[in-house]
């Protein structure tokens, strides 16, 4: 009966849309009175009333010329203080009334992306809905289908959305095709920018623009029938305040990916809170803690104009006594914690090359990592691969590194592709140039700059959680005190090869040794349940918390409530929070679980065995996997 009802509704919508050239504005409450092109003839569309409770909207500023790319020749961006704006809104349609067609009980989650625009000739202000995605419920599916049939130029799809309570705030999430498009952890505060709020929301004209930009429609809403209640500003907070993958997922073709790029700073510990270009929208990456024991850093002075060649037009060298500086550091990552993904046993040698820079407009100081090379161990290979996938503008490769004792000193070496990049024979002495040491190291902003110098990202680290222990200056000594081929091997194209031939920087107080450097994101410590990055989950060692009701293996619950209420998250932390993993499973063909299953499941058709077991074949709630490669931890969820 349910499927027949849905089919009838869908067919009825199609029939109504075919009549004439009217637009049924299923996405915006009110009466859709539309005119096509320049025609003043109004088509009396279907009367629609929509109630959204609650409505969350995030506004992304952008350059007007970037928005113009998709507006054709009759519309242009409506700007506020020199910026065009895209609105990304998440809301729950709690009531939808399409009189005589759809019942008033229709409801669904929706994510809508709109651009604020105006007519070029008349200056009339309004908006264009670029996309509208609904949840997969029956109501949401009907709305998605209706959107595809009636909404000119609007991309219509399916999402999963939610709003939950977190401490004193709320968390808003949107997922599409297993991609986390949007996550906002925020608290309600009084509206501080009422002028912008009114500018953005008091729009009663909706334009619909075809994909080829040739057809333009205009629809109006009565001002008295578009109202807002209980308005607040949202301030992001917490360890993961804001994540956006909206624009690089949906609008990379327009070059809008820079509006919402998440940076997972695998090389620098800390929660990456980033703003792209001049946007104030913050994005946070995965929590990373990194311990380097020991850390050796060599600083090469250079002319500022030589460094400027690779910094683009928004960054400039940060100078000390008239010189710019490149840091070449060699260290051993003795502990790397990427909660819920990589275990705490990850370790590898690394050579990192950084430039000390600052923003031209604000003077904010930081650094750019030019390259990061790791050893060829399993851990190092994983880090290299992660670096290549997530680090914008950073060259990632493989090296062999070592530190050995030589008489009263130590020898530090780095080799890449059979080339000796760096060799330093040195002794530890007290730091004589503490002012330079502090100038070089007390930097808590990392910039990432794309190779074409057009995209700039910014990430910060909490100052109190980046520490150094056992600091010394290094003085070179012996028959081969200092050898460097770093710059002519890696940066000859910038004319930096001459830096290798400069006099020994360790004789100028520019080389340092730290027994330990720690970079951390937060004080809470999450224990990884994955003990080995290659072996992954260990099914035969799992299932020992209680009786193996469905046999041995790693148990996964379909519902988070089962895990939370069943006490499987352990004791709460000091702040009352608990944690659970969200995992991706390869379940294959399941069989019914049995206490006698000891890691090998029955044959389903020789020589093929079942791939996992479940508590119920008709409606499984528990999945038990017996193979380490069947489960991949995707997210670590912290909740109260």
- Examine the domain organization and report whether 331 and 431 are in the same domain: no
518 and 453 both lie in a single domain = no
Asked if the structure places residue 412 within a domain, the reply is yes
Pair of tokens at residue 362: 């604000």
Count Cβ atoms below 10 Å from residue 386 Cβ, excluding itself: 18
pLDDT at 238: 67
From 344, 377, 410, give the residue that closes a domain.
377
Residue 519 confidence (pLDDT): 60
Collapsing DSSP to helix, strand or coil, 506 comes out as: helix
Q: Which of 244, 200, 199, 206 is nearest to 33 (CA)?
A: 206
Q: Which domain holds residue 104?
A: 56-140
DSSP 249: H
Q: Domain check: are 589 and 627 in the same one?
A: yes
What residues of the chain score a pLDDT lower than 50? 1-45, 100-101, 260-286, 339-344, 520-535, 540-547
* Same domain assignment for residues 366 and 455: no
- The total number of residues written for the chain in this structure: 640
Distance between CA atoms of residues 578 and 571, nearest Å = 7
Same domain, 489 and 616: yes
> E strands of 477-544, at which residues?
482-484, 511-519
Instruction: Read off φ and ψ for residue 570, nearest 5 degrees.
Output: 80, -170
What is the DSSP annotation of 323-382?
BEEEEEEEEEEEEEEETTTEEEEEEEEEEEEEEEEEETTT--EEEEEEEEEE-SSHHHHH
Q: Is 147 part of any domain?
A: no
Q: How far apart are CA 361 and CA 110, in angstroms?
A: 39
- Residue 516 inside a domain? The answer is yes
Report how far residue 598's alpha carbon sits from residue 548's, in angstroms, rounded to the nearest whole number: 10
Q: How far apart are CA 467 and CA 465, in angstroms?
A: 6
**Given this model, what pLDDT does residue 464 score?**
66
| Euclidean distance between CA atoms 275 and 226, whole angstroms | 33
Helix axes 2-18, 138-150, angle to 10 degrees: 20
493 and 373 belong to one structural domain: no
With CA atoms as reference, report the closest residue to 290 among 368, 370, 347, 366: 347
In contact, 262 and 284? CB cutoff 8 Å = yes
Q: Are 333 and 350 spatial neighbours (Cβ–Cβ below 8 Å)?
A: yes
- Cis amide prior to 432 (ω within 30 degrees): no
User: Tell me: the pLDDT tens digits for 512-568?
Assistant: 999 877 664 333 333 334 444 344 555 544 444 444 678 888 888 998 888 888 777
Cα dihedral: 155, 160, 161, 166 (round 10) = -150
Residue 153's region, left for phi above 0, alpha for psi from -120 to 50, else beta, is left
Residue 301 in any domain: the answer is: yes
> What is the structure's pLDDT at 405?
83
DSSP H or E stretch at residue 379: helix 378-390
Same-domain status, 515 and 619: yes
Tell whether 621 and 543 lie within a shared domain.
yes
For the four alpha carbons of 424, 428, 433 and 438, in that order, the dihedral sign comes to: positive
DSSP characters for 274-331? B--TT----B----EEEEEEEEEEEEEEE-HHHHHTTTTTTEEE--BTTBEEEEEEEE
Q: Up-side HSE of residue 384: CA atoms within 13 Å toward CB?
A: 17
Separation between Cα atoms, residue 628 and residue 626, nearest integer Å: 7
**Distance, CA of 172 to CA of 288 (rounded, Å):** 23
- 276 beta partners: none
- Establish if 474 belongs to a structural domain: no
**Based on the domain organization, do 325 and 369 belong to the same domain?**
yes
**Helix ranges (DSSP H) in 580-620:** none
Q: What is the pLDDT of residue 46?
A: 56
> The pTM is what?
0.43
Is 517 in the same domain as 625?
A: yes
Name the token pair of 461: 């680290």
SS3 441: helix
Distance, in Å, from the CA atom of 186 to the CA atom of 166, rounded to the nearest integer, reads 9
Using CA atoms, how far apart are residues 350 and 369, in angstroms rounded to an integer?
A: 13
Residue 419 falls within a domain, yes or no?
yes
Tell me whether residue 309 is in a domain.
Answer: yes
Number of domains the chain contains = 4
CATH number at residue 515: 3.90.228.10
- 240, 288 contact by CB (below 8 A): no
Question: Both 556 and 490 in a single domain?
Answer: yes
User: Which residue in this structure is represented by tokens 């409606």?
Assistant: 619
Here the contacts of 152-156 (C-beta below 8 Å, separation 24 or greater) are 152/23, 152/208, 152/209, 152/210, 152/215, 152/217, 153/128, 153/208, 153/209, 153/210, 153/211, 154/27, 154/129, 154/130, 154/208, 155/130, 155/131, 155/250, 156/131, 156/132
In a domain, 569, yes or no: yes
Place of tokens 């890449």: 416
Statement to judge: residues 410 and 298 lie in one domain: no
The pair of structure tokens assigned to 146 is: 């209706």
């Amino acid at each position: 009966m349910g499927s027949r009802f849905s089919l009838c509704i869908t067919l009825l919508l199609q029939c109504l849309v075919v009549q004439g050239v009217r637009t049924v504005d299923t996405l915006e409450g009110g009466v859709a009175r539309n005119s096509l092109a320049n025609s003043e003839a109004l088509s009396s569309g279907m009367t629609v009333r929509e109630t959204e409770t609650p409505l969350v909207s995030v506004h992304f500023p952008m350059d007007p010329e970037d928005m113009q790319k998709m507006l054709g020749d009759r519309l242009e961006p409506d700007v506020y203080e020199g910026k065009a704006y895209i609105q990304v809104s998440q809301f729950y349609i709690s009531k939808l009334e399409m009189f005589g067609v759809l019942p008033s009980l229709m409801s669904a989650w929706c994510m809508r992306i709109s651009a604020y625009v105006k007519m070029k000739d008349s200056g009339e202000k309004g908006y264009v809905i670029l996309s509208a995605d609904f949840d997969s419920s029956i109501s949401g599916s009907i709305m998605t289908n209706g959107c595809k049939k009636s909404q000119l130029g609007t991309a219509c799809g399916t999402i999963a959305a939610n709003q939950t309570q977190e401490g004193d705030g709320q968390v808003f999430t949107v997922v599409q095709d297993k991609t986390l498009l949007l996550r906002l952890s925020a608290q309600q505060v009084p509206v501080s920018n009422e002028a912008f709020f009114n500018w953005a929301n008091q729009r009663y004209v909706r334009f619909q623009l075809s994909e080829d930009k040739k057809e333009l429609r205009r629809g109006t809403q009565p001002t008295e029938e578009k109202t807002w209640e209980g308005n607040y500003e949202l301030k992001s907070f917490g360890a993961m305040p804001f994540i956006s993958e909206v624009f690089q997922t949906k609008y990379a073709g327009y070059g809008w990916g820079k509006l919402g790029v998440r940076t997972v700073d695998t090389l620098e510990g800390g929660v990456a809170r980033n703003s792209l270009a001049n946007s104030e929208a913050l994005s946070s990456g995965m929590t990373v803690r990194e311990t380097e024991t020991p850390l050796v850093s060599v600083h090469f002075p250079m002319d500022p104009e030589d460094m400027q060649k690779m910094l683009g037009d928004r960054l400039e060298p940060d100078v000390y006594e008239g010189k710019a500086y490149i840091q070449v550091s060699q260290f051993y990552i003795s502990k790397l914690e990427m909660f819920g993904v990589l275990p705490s046993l990850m370790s590898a040698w690394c050579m990192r090359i950084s430039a000390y820079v600052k923003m031209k407009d604000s003077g904010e100081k930081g650094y750019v990592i030019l390259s990061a090379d790791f050893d060829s161990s399993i851990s190092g290979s994983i880090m290299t691969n992660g670096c290549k996938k997530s680090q914008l503008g950073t060259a990632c490769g493989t090296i062999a590194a070592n530190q050995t004792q030589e008489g009263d000193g130590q020898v530090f070496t780095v080799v890449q592709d059979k080339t000796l990049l760096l060799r330093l024979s040195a002794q530890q002495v007290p730091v004589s140039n503490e002012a330079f040491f502090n100038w070089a190291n007390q930097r808590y902003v990392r910039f990432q700059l794309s190779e074409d110098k057009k995209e700039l990202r910014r990430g910060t680290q909490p100052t109190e959680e980046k520490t150094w222990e056992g600091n010394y200056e290094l003085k070179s000594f012996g028959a081969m005190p200092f050898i460097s081929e770093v710059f002519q091997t890696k940066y000859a194209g910038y004319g930096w090869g001459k830096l290798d031939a400069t006099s020994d920087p360790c004789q100028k107080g520019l080389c340092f040794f730290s027994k330990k450097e720690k970079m951390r994101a937060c004080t809470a410590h999450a224990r990884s349940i994955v003990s080995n990055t290659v072996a992954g989950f260990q099914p035969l060692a799992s299932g020992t918390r209680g009786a193996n009701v469905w046999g041995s293996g790693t148990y996964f619950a379909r519902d988070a409530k089962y895990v939370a209420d069943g006490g499987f998250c352990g004791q709460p932390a000091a702040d009352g929070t608990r944690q659970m993993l969200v995992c991706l499973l390869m379940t294959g063909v399941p069989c019914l679980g049995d206490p006698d299953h000891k890691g090998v499941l029955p044959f389903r058709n020789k020589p093929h065995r079942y791939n996992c077991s479940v508590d119920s074949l008709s409606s499984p709630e528990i999945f038990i996997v017996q193979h380490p490669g069947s489960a991949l931890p995707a997210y670590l969820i912290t909740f109260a």
